[in-house]
Amino acid sequence: MLTVDFSRFPLAPGDRVLDLGCGAGRHAFECYRRGAQVVALDQNGEEIREVAKWFAAMKEAGEAPEGATATAMEGDALALPFPDESFDVVIISEVMEHIPDDKGVLAEMVRVLKPGGRIAITVPRYGPEKVCWALSDEYHEVEGGHIRIYKADELLAKIREAGLKPYGTHHAHALHSPYWWLKCAFGVDNDKALPVRAYHKLLVWDIMKKPLATRVAEQALNPLIGKSFVAYATKPHLPRVDAK
């Protein structure tokens, strides 16, 4: 289940991509399939080991084109172990709401992004996220949980302040908002509640079968209750200074 829309965020074969806070690796895997040179980075060592196993399995199965590469590594988003201007593309999906120093993370992403490079940022959307917080303290008051809710204008202002130029936004995963509202209402860790189990089965069916009816419904509902807000931006080229 991808949050970044690659029709709005195109990749070229050979692009060097950083998936920052990659989690289980969903965007990193897609970039690898598209022929990129991918670095998937996360502070969670257990998840990184799983991502590395999947990269190896994808290579063995021939799922990535020739020339594509994939590396999984542990790292700190506030101190990236890469030189300046070393990536064509940076993706950070559902991560910034967890990090106290979000401006510091933005600064690091801008540092490692090449001029002319592209960045995709996704965060939980303000409205649906406010409902979750209202229904459950447990949803966000946990170690490593969500510490802020972004308004779209606030996130875009921070992106511009970091030196990036936004060029597009959209919302995603409308069908997932009711699921999380149910989870918050019945208990975040209570997967046995009948409404939660029933809706989860619906989501799994939707992800596996991709029926037209739910695709159309989600597209129509995304502007209203899309669970994620997605912003795309570029790093401008600096004006050339002619030598005197």
Give pLDDT tens digits for 35-65: 999 999 999 999 999 999 999 999 999 999 9
Read off the pLDDT of each residue in 174-194 and give the average, rounded to a whole number: 95
Write the CB contacts of 187 (distance below 8 Å, at least 6 apart in sequence).
136, 138, 193
Instruction: Tell me the pTM.
Output: 0.94
DSSP of 134-187: HH-STTTSSTT-------HHHHHHHHHHTT-EEEEEEEE-TTHHHHHHHHHHH-
Q: How far apart are CA 53 and CA 48, in angstroms?
A: 9
Cα–Cα distance between 229 and 156 in angstroms, integer?
A: 11
The residue among 122, 155, 116, 173 whose CA lies nearest residue 20 is 122
**In which order are the strands placed within the sheet that holds 87-93?**
69-74, 37-42, 16-20, 87-93, 113-124, 228-234, 165-172
pLDDT at 241: 53
Q: Write down the mean pLDDT value for the chain.
A: 95
Q: Which residues on neighbouring strands pair with residue 87, listed in sequence order?
A: 113
Q: What fold characterizes domain 75-172+225-233?
A: Rossmann fold (3.40.50)
- For a pLDDT cut of 70, what percent of the chain falls above it? 98
- DSSP bridge partners of 239: none
Using alpha carbons only, give the angle 162, 165, 169 rounded to the nearest 5 degrees. 110
Euclidean distance between CA atoms 78 and 231, whole angstroms: 20
Structure confidence at residue 145 (pLDDT): 83
Distance (Å, whole) CA 151 – CA 229: 9
Bridge partners, 118 (sequence order):
89, 234
Per-residue pLDDT averaged across 111-127, rounded? 98
Q: What percent of the chain has pLDDT over 90?
A: 91
- Average pLDDT for residues 24-39, to the nearest whole number? 98
> Residue 140: which pLDDT band, with cuts at 50, 70 and 90?
confident
What value does the mean pLDDT take over residues 193-198?
96
Other beta carbons within 10 angstroms of residue 43's beta carbon come to 13
6-22, pLDDT tens digit by residue? 999 999 999 999 999 99
Pairing of strands 113-124, 228-234: antiparallel
Report the first-to-last Cα separation within the chain, whole angstroms. Answer: 53
> What angle (nearest 5°) sits at the alpha carbon of residue 150, between those of residues 101 and 16?
65
- Nearest-5° Cα angle at 166, 160 to 171: 120
Residue for token pair 């998840």: 47
| pLDDT above 60: residue 243 | no
